[in-house]
C-alpha cells in the first residue's frame, strides 16, 4: 500500500512565502506607497502567481497588513499592561512608549496607508486600543499634576503620536539612532516633565519593559 505523501512541507513553504511577502510589503510600501504587486513579488523573491495565490489583490494584501499590525499592537499592549495600570503616570507613559516601540514601523505604515488605501475608519479601528491607553495615561498624569493640562488628554495624545511617527521617520531616514529610550524621553518632556526627570524615569523603566517583553516572547515560543 502506498504511503500517503505528507503535505506539511508544502504548507510550511506556503506559510514562509506568505510571511516573506508581508515582510517585504511592510518595507517596500513604507518606501513607495505606489509600488505594484508585481514589483512586490519580485522584491519578495516569489513569482507573481505565488503572491496572487495568497493575496488576490492590493486590498487583500493591505487588509492582511492591517490585521498583522493589529495583532502586533495588541500583543505589545498586553505585554506592557501592568506598567500602564499599576505605575505612576510618568512611568506608565514611558512603559507604554517603550512597549510599543518594537512595532513602531507597523504603526507608521498604517498611518501612511490610511491616507489612500485602508481608509481612516479602518486604521482608527486598529489603533483605537493604543490610542485609548495613551489617552488614559495622560488623563491620569494630568490628575496627578505631573503632566501639563493646557491641552485635553486626547489632543495631547494625538500630538505625541504625530511626534513619535515623525521621529520614526527620522530613524528610517538615518537622521536619528534610537532603541526607543530617546523617543520615550521626548514624549515625557512634551507632557511637561523636566528633561532630567524624564531621563531618570526612562532609565528606571526600560529594564522592566525589556524583562516583560522577553517574558512575553518566551511565552509565545
pLDDT (tens digit per residue) in 79-94: 777 767 778 999 999 9
Rounded-to-integer distance, Cα 201 and Cα 214, Å: 20
pLDDT of residue 202: 96
* Distance, C-alpha 74 to centroid of its chain: 9
Give which of 64, 14, 10 is closest to 37, Cα–Cα.
Answer: 64
CATH 1.10.10 fits 1-56, yes or no: yes
Residues carrying CATH 1.10.10, the chain: 1-56
CATH number of 65-220: 1.10.357
Give which of 58, 100, 57, 109 is closest to 78, Cα–Cα.
Answer: 100
Rounded-to-integer distance, Cα 124 and Cα 133, Å: 14
pLDDT of residue 219: 52
pLDDT (tens digit per residue) in 177-215: 999 999 999 999 999 999 999 999 999 999 988 887 665
Residues carrying CATH 1.10.357, the chain: 65-220
- DSSP assignment of 45-64 equals T--HHHHHHH-SSHHHHHHH
pLDDT of residue 173: 81
CB crowding 97-119: b at 16 or more within 10 Å, else e: bbbbbbbbbbbbbbbbbbeebbe
pLDDT of residue 215: 57
Highest mean pLDDT among 59-63, 155-159, 214-218: 155-159
pLDDT of residue 122: 80
Q: pTM to 2 decimals?
A: 0.78
Amino acid at each position: 500500500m502506498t504511503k500517503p505523501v505528507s503535505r506539511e512541507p508544502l504548507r510550511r513553504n506556503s506559510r514562509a512565502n506568505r510571511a516573506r511577502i508581508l515582510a517585504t510589503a511592510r518595507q517596500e510600501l513604507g518606501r513607495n506607497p505606489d509600488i505594484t504587486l508585481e514589483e512586490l513579488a519580485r522584491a519578495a523573491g516569489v513569482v507573481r502567481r505565488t503572491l496572487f495565490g495568497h493575496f488576490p489583490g492590493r486590498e487583500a494584501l493591505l487588509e492582511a497588513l492591517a490585521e498583522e499590525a493589529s495583532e502586533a499592537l495588541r500583543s505589545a499592549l498586553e505585554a506592557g499592561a501592568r506598567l500602564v495600570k499599576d505605575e505612576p503616570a510618568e512611568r506608565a507613559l514611558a512603559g507604554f512608549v517603550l512597549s510599543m516601540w518594537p512595532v513602531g514601523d507597523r504603526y507608521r505604515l498604517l498611518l501612511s496607508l490610511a491616507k489612500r488605501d485602508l481608509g481612516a475608519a479602518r486604521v482608527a479601528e486598529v489603533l483605537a486600543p493604543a490610542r485609548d491607553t495613551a489617552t488614559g495615561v495622560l488623563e491620569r498624569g494630568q490628575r496627578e499634576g505631573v503632566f501639563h493640562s493646557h491641552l485635553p488628554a486626547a489632543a495631547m495624545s494625538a500630538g505625541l503620536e504625530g511626534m513619535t511617527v515623525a521621529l520614526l521617520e527620522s530613524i528610517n531616514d538615518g537622521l536619528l539612532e534610537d532603541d526607543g529610550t530617546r523617543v520615550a524621553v521626548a514624549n515625557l518632556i512634551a507632557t511637561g516633565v523636566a528633561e532630567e526627570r524624564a531621563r531618570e524615569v526612562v532609565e528606571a523603566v526600560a529594564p522592566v519593559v525589556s524583562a516583560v517583553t522577553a517574558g512575553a516572547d518566551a511565552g509565545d515560543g
